[in-house]
Every structure is written in C-alpha cells, then in structure tokens.
C-alpha cells in the first residue's frame, strides 16, 4: 500500500488523488496515464528543461516591462525559472 500523502483534485472526468508533493495537477496525471508516447519523461533532458526555463523567464520579464504581468507574479516566475536552471524541480517535468 502506498503511504505517500496525496491531495484530491477534480476535473470534468471526476476526481483523482495527486501526490501532495507534486507541482503538477490532475490534467498532467491524466496525460501520464493516457498518453505514454515515448516512455521517457522530459526530465531525462535537463538541457531542454533549462532552455524552457530561459524562455519562460524572458517572457515573464518582457510581460512585466509591457505592463502585462504584475511585479509580484513576474518575480515569482523569474525566481522559479532560476531554481529550475539550477537543477531544482526537474523531477516535476514528468510528461514525455
């Protein structure tokens, strides 16, 4: 029996238990179960994850400058992107 803590999430298909430590939600969990394409999660490609984080960070900074994203949200995105580029959170990139 799995004793990992979970949280209950709901979508149009019903409810599912998602690992409490997961940054992803029910839609990602369903994608993992229903669309296993290669069997290799993108976490196996840290260079790709870092590149995605660079693009996301640049977009957040540009959107902040254009007034499309407030300072607090932009700061949170930038901080998270920096953590990802340091190798943190790579285990949260579970889809293939």
Which pLDDT score is estimated for 78?
99
Q: Which residues pair with residue 44 across a beta bridge?
A: none
Which pLDDT score is estimated for 3?
82
* Residue found by looking up tokens 């949260």 in the block: 92
Reading the chain (96 residues) residue by residue, the pLDDT tens digits are 568 999 999 999 999 999 999 999 999 999 999 998 898 999 999 999 999 999 999 999 999 999 999 999 999 999 999 999 999 999 999 998
pTM for this one?
0.82
Per-residue burial over 35-48, b = 16 or more CB atoms within 10 Å of its CB, e = otherwise: eeeeeebebeeeee
Q: Tell how far CA 39 is from the center of its chain.
A: 18
- The answer to whether 8 and 17 are in contact (CB under 8 A) is yes
């Amino acid at each position: 029996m799995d004793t990992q803590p979970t949280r209950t999430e709901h979508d149009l298909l019903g409810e599912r238990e998602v690992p409490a430590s997961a940054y992803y939600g029910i839609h990602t969990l369903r994608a993992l179960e229903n669309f296993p394409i290669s069997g290799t999660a993108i976490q196996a490609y840290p260079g790709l994850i870092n590149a995605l984080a660079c693009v996301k960070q640049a977009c957040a900074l540009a959107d902040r400058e254009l007034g499309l994203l407030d300072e607090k949200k932009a700061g949170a995105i930038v901080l998270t992107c920096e953590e990802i580029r340091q190798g943190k959170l790579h285990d949260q990139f579970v889809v293939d």
